Every structure is written in structure tokens, then in C-alpha cells.
A and B are shown apart, each in its own frame.
Chain A
Amino acid sequence: MAVGHGDSSSSDKKSTDALNDLQTFNAENLQSNMKVIYYSRTFLSIIGGVIAGILGFKGLIGFVFYFLVMAITSAALTAKAKFSIHSYFDTWNRVLLDGFFGGLMSFVLFWTFAYDIVHIF
């Protein structure tokens, strides 16, 4: 993965017990974390599209491949956050869903491009 969390991107979560329901996130850091997610998803959807095209996936298999890539991305991001999602993001949806459909368009484009160049001519 081309991007990672810098030291500054760890959100402030100071309070521990009895205060867990309080919102103690640093908005800027949260924003930067989400940007990291967006970049890694876009990057991986482009790379995944090229791979799917070169391997010649057709129809449903290609979309399944996209879901697989995104699932792997989510897992990798979770691992990168050292499995404590809540100290970096406010909800799980940030890791699992954000940028999911934004990447689909790039994926389809690069999938088509690579597939055409390699297979149909």
C-alpha cells in the first residue's frame, strides 16, 4: 500500500473509563484518516482493475474480484489501525464502506481498458 498513517493521524482519544461515550475526536485527524482510506481505496481499485483485465475476468467474476479487493483493503486498513478501529475512526462504516462506490467507476474503467488491450484485439 502506498499510503500509511502518519504519526499525526492518530486521533486524540484521551479519556478512558466512564467517558467513553464522549466525543473526543480531533476533527482534522479524522479527516486525514479518511483521506488515507480514500486514497488507498482508489489506488487499489485502479490496480485491481488492471489485474482483473489482464487476467481476463468477465462478467460477474470481475465484480466479485472487486468486492474481494475491497474486503482485503478493509482488512489491511484494520490491521494498519492495529485492530483498534475506534481510536482512529468514529464508526466501522468508515473502514468498511467509505469510498466503495467511488472506486467502482475507476475499477470498471481500468478493467475494461486492460481487458480490451490484452484480450479482444
Chain B
Amino acid sequence: MAEDLVLDTAIRDWVLIPLSIVMVLIGVLRYFVSKLMRSTQVPDGKIVKEGQVIVRARNLRAAANFIPPKSFRARRAYFSNEENGLLHVPKGQAQNPQAQMFSDPNMAMDMMKKNLSMIIPQTLTFAWVNFFFSGFVAAKIPFPLTQRFRSMLQNGIDLSTVDVSYVSSRSWYFLNLFGLRGLFSLILGEDNATDDAQRMMQMSGFGFDPTKNLGAEKDGLDIVQHEWALPKFEQRAEAVLRKLVS
């Protein structure tokens, strides 16, 4: 670091600090705006019921080994017998998923709103940063990097002689964009952090078919090999009780 640049303190006061604060505030604002715009869907009773049945069946499958074989068989019959089992779907009653998707325009609307609330503030902030703060050397990372990072960290400065560890204001914006995620998850709670994952889930669940889920769960339940995990628990209980009595 022989040729240290001397940076004006005004850059710190009027570029670095305001930029970082604005990034944080915009993140908070985005969170609340997307919270306000989220429409509350009235869930369909039938779908909720089917979902609950699936959850119960899944619980049974997960905890199958903790109940005696007889109890397990009885429960399985309750869920999946061919006449009136809860998971049994009569033929022809299956709803066309496509039709269901079109009957609920709210779903597509909701997704679009969410996407917009991500994209619009980002574009606006980027334009704002470009307009006001282009061309400043705003920061310096405290560790050396190779030349390869020059295009990443000195976006907007066309000088090849400046040390790579100096960061231009536009690149500081990008660093903030990625690095502040942790801070947001602390100050806004977890919904913000899991936002992306949730959106992915919604994408894949778009136009999903509950009856198909019922069928899949039924198949899963049918092939469970029951193996009781607690064959000796009666003896153990007896031993414990005897110890208590004596």
C-alpha cells in the first residue's frame, strides 16, 4: 500500500454513510409495503379439509413405528380403504387443475405484486445511486484482492492504476444489496429472509392438485412397512413400576 489514496471526508459524510442508511431504510420500506399489499385469501373449505387429512396421514406415516401393529393397521384402514377411506378419491371427481387456476386470478395477481415490490425499489435505488453518486471512490475493503475483482468492485471508475481494494460507490451499492440480508433477517424477523424460498415454493405449487396429493399420500401409506419400535416397553414399564412399589 505504497500509493494510498487520500479520500475526502466529505465523501464519507455525503456518499458512504447516506448510501448505506438509504439501503437499510429501503429494505425496511419494501418489507412493509409488501406486507400491506399482501391480499388475504379466503381459503376454500374443501381444500383446507383435504390438506388437514394429508397432514394427519403424514403424521401417521412418520410415527408409524411407535404404535402397535394392530393400531397401525386400524388407522391405515381408516385412511386408505377402498370404500370410504379419507384418502380415497372417487373417480371422476378430480378437479381439473387448469380450470382451478383460472378460477382464481388472485393467485397470479399476488405473485406479480410480490415480484414488483422486489424489482421496482431495486431499479429505483440503482438509478438513484447512478445519478447522484456515480464515479466516487467510496470505500476500501480491508483485504487485498486480485485483479479479477476489478470489474466487480470498481464498476463506474475507468482507472486501471487504482488499487483493486478501492470500491466505487456503485459497487458499494451492490455489496450492500447482498450483505444486508443478514441484518434484515435480524431486524425484520424471518419472513424477509425466507422470502425467496417462499416464492419458489409458490411457483412450484402453482396450480397444484389436491386430489393428486391425496392419491400420493395414500400410496405412501400403503407401502409403509410397519415395524414396531418399542416391543419391550411393557417389560420396561413393569420394571419401573415394580421399582416404585418396592
Q: Which of A's residues lie within 8 Å of B, judged by CB?
A: 18-19, 22, 35, 38-39, 42-43, 45-46, 53, 56-60, 62-63, 102-103, 105-106, 108-113, 115-117, 120-121
Q: Are B179 and A108 in contact (CB-based, < 8 A)?
A: yes
Which residue from A19, A22, A59 sits with its C-beta under 8 Å from B143?
A59
* Segment at the A interface, from B9-17, B35-43, B75-83: B9-17
Which residue from A42, A109, A112 sits with its C-beta under 8 Å from B186?
A42
B178 at the interface (CB under 8 A from A): yes
Q: In the bound complex, what is the Cα–Cα distance between A120 and B144 (angstroms)?
A: 15
Q: Are B185 and A42 in contact (CB-based, < 8 A)?
A: yes
Query: Which residues B1-20 have CB closer than 8 A to chain A?
Result: 7-9, 11-12, 16-17, 20
B170 to A: closest C-beta gap in Å = 15
Q: Are B142 and A109 in contact (CB-based, < 8 A)?
A: no
Chain B residues positioned under 8 Å from A106 (CB to CB) = 179-183
Q: Are A60 and B176 in contact (CB-based, < 8 A)?
A: no
Q: In the bound complex, what is the Cα–Cα distance between A106 and B185 (angstroms)?
A: 11
Do A103 and B182 form a contact, CB below 8 Å, given A19-B229, A117-B17, A121-B8?
A: yes
Give the dominant DSSP class at A's interface.
helix
B147 to A: closest C-beta gap in Å = 17
Q: Are A53 and B142 in contact (CB-based, < 8 A)?
A: yes
Q: Are B139 and A105 in contact (CB-based, < 8 A)?
A: no
Q: Are B143 and A60 in contact (CB-based, < 8 A)?
A: yes
Chain B residues positioned under 8 Å from A121 (CB to CB) = 7-9, 11-12
Chain A residues positioned under 8 Å from B20 (CB to CB) = 113
Chain B residues positioned under 8 Å from A22 (CB to CB) = 65, 229
Most A Cβ at <10 Å: residue of B144, B167, B178, B182: B182
Given contacts A58-B142, A121-B7, could you give 4 more A-B pairs where the C-beta distance is less than 8 Å?
A39-B186, A106-B179, A113-B16, A121-B12
B124 at the interface (CB under 8 A from A): no
Which residue from A18, A43, A58, A115 sits with its C-beta under 8 Å from B232?
A18
Do A105 and B178 form a contact, CB below 8 Å, given A59-B144, A112-B139?
A: yes
Q: Are B182 and A105 in contact (CB-based, < 8 A)?
A: yes
Can you name 8 A-B residue pairings with CB atoms under 8 Å?
Answer: A19-B230, A46-B182, A60-B143, A108-B179, A115-B140, A116-B16, A116-B139, A121-B9
The residue in chain A whose Cβ has the minimal distance to the Cβ of B20 is A113
Chain B residues positioned under 8 Å from A62 (CB to CB) = 142-143
The residue in chain A whose Cβ has the minimal distance to the Cβ of B177 is A109
Q: Are B141 and A112 in contact (CB-based, < 8 A)?
A: yes
Q: In the bound complex, what is the Cα–Cα distance between A115 and B232 (angstroms)?
A: 63
B172 to A: closest C-beta gap in Å = 8
B222 to A: closest C-beta gap in Å = 22
Q: Are B9 and A57 in contact (CB-based, < 8 A)?
A: no
A9 to B: closest C-beta gap in Å = 15
Q: Which 3 residue pairs are nearest across A and B when measured between Cβ atoms?
A: A109-B179, A106-B182, A42-B182
Q: Are A46 and B186 in contact (CB-based, < 8 A)?
A: yes
